[in-house]
Amino acid sequence: MPDVHDVERCHRAFYDAEAPARAPGWRLDPDCLRVRDDFVGRLRAAEARSVLEVGCGAGRDAAALAGAGLSYVGLDLSAGPASVVRAAGHRVVVGSATHLPLTDGSVDAVWSASTLMHLPGDGLRVALDEVARVVRPGGLLALGVWGHDVDGEWTDPHGRYFRRRTVNGLLAEVRRVAEVVGVETWGRYPDGGHYQWVVARLFRRRVLRRRS
């Protein structure tokens, strides 16, 4: 398993350099747009007022979430993308998915797309515990990651780390803290890679993690 600090340094450098190209005008996959619209509809039905985006990048989803009438806050590990989102008029903080800088039960929902598969070791589990801490009991989680038919790890040519779980492996982690209310996959590649999408409702008895 790679050192978490090395992984974070590599990802910061990559996404800081990529931030201008990944601005909100970046074209989104139709499936990503579809599930985003679906999640916004779920939030409206639940009368949600606030949403935290974990891994906001350069803001491809920020405008849609904030434009739905939600109080939006984005979080990203890299300062470059965060500055792009901030310049667009959205609230954003620089920080880690494993140490969310929010108080307990302070948001109604979390949206996280193509971010948490970059966490090595038990990072996903810790991040989901943090989600369970900051989202009010009964609130919603939308989680998208690149996964695979076979559990494993991979580092791309840019040095970005990927923890590739099977759908069942991802669901096992989510079900520790939430009731899954929707799951689907798309974008399958010949090597077994594919996108995994889960929507879940946080348990009313939240799983809390003592923060240092």
Q: What is the pLDDT of residue 2?
A: 84
This prediction's pTM: 0.92
Domain membership of residue 55 (yes or no) is yes
Domain membership of residue 211 (yes or no) is no
Q: How far apart are CA 129 and CA 134, in angstroms?
A: 9
Cβ distance 65 to 90 under 8 Å?
Answer: no
Cβ distance 81 to 26 under 8 Å?
Answer: no
Domain membership of residue 212 (yes or no) is no
What CATH number has the domain bearing residue 55? 3.40.50.150
- Residue spans of alpha helices (H) in the chain: 4-18, 30-45, 62-67, 79-87, 123-134, 167-174
Q: What is the pLDDT of residue 139?
A: 97
Q: What is the pLDDT of residue 27?
A: 64
Domain membership of residue 121 (yes or no) is yes
Q: What is the pLDDT of residue 19?
A: 76
Q: What is the pLDDT of residue 29?
A: 85
Q: How far apart are CA 159 and CA 31, in angstroms?
A: 27
Q: How far apart are CA 145 and CA 113, in angstroms?
A: 6
Q: How far apart are CA 160 and CA 26, in angstroms?
A: 20
Q: How far apart are CA 144 and CA 183, in angstroms?
A: 10
Q: What is the pLDDT of residue 84?
A: 92
Counted domains in the chain: 1
Q: What is the pLDDT of residue 207?
A: 47
What are phi and psi for residue 53, nearest 5 degrees?
Answer: -100, 115
Q: What is the pLDDT of residue 205?
A: 55
> Residue-wise pLDDT tens for the chain (212 aa)?
788 989 999 989 998 887 777 665 556 789 999 999 999 999 999 999 999 999 999 998 999 999 999 999 999 999 999 999 999 999 999 999 999 999 999 999 999 999 999 999 999 999 999 999 999 999 999 999 999 999 999 999 999 999 999 999 999 999 999 999 999 999 999 999 999 999 999 996 544 554 44
Containing domain of residue 153, as a range? 4-202
Domain membership of residue 104 (yes or no) is yes
Single out the residue of 92, 28, 18, 29 nearest to residue 60, CA to CA. Answer: 28
Q: What is the dihedral angle through the alpha carbons of 149, 53, 27, 166, rounded to the nearest 10 degrees?
A: 0
Q: How far apart are CA 136 and CA 155, in angstroms?
A: 35
- Residues with Cβ within 8 Å of 172's Cβ and at least 6 positions away in sequence, in order, are none
Domain membership of residue 208 (yes or no) is no
Cβ distance 200 to 180 under 8 Å?
Answer: yes
Domain membership of residue 210 (yes or no) is no
Single out the residue of 133, 144, 131, 136 nearest to residue 43, CA to CA. Answer: 136
Q: Which amino acid is at 186?
A: W
Q: What is the pLDDT of residue 212?
A: 45
- Residues with Cβ within 8 Å of 207's Cβ and at least 6 positions away in sequence, in order, are 129, 132, 133, 176, 177
Domain membership of residue 97 (yes or no) is yes
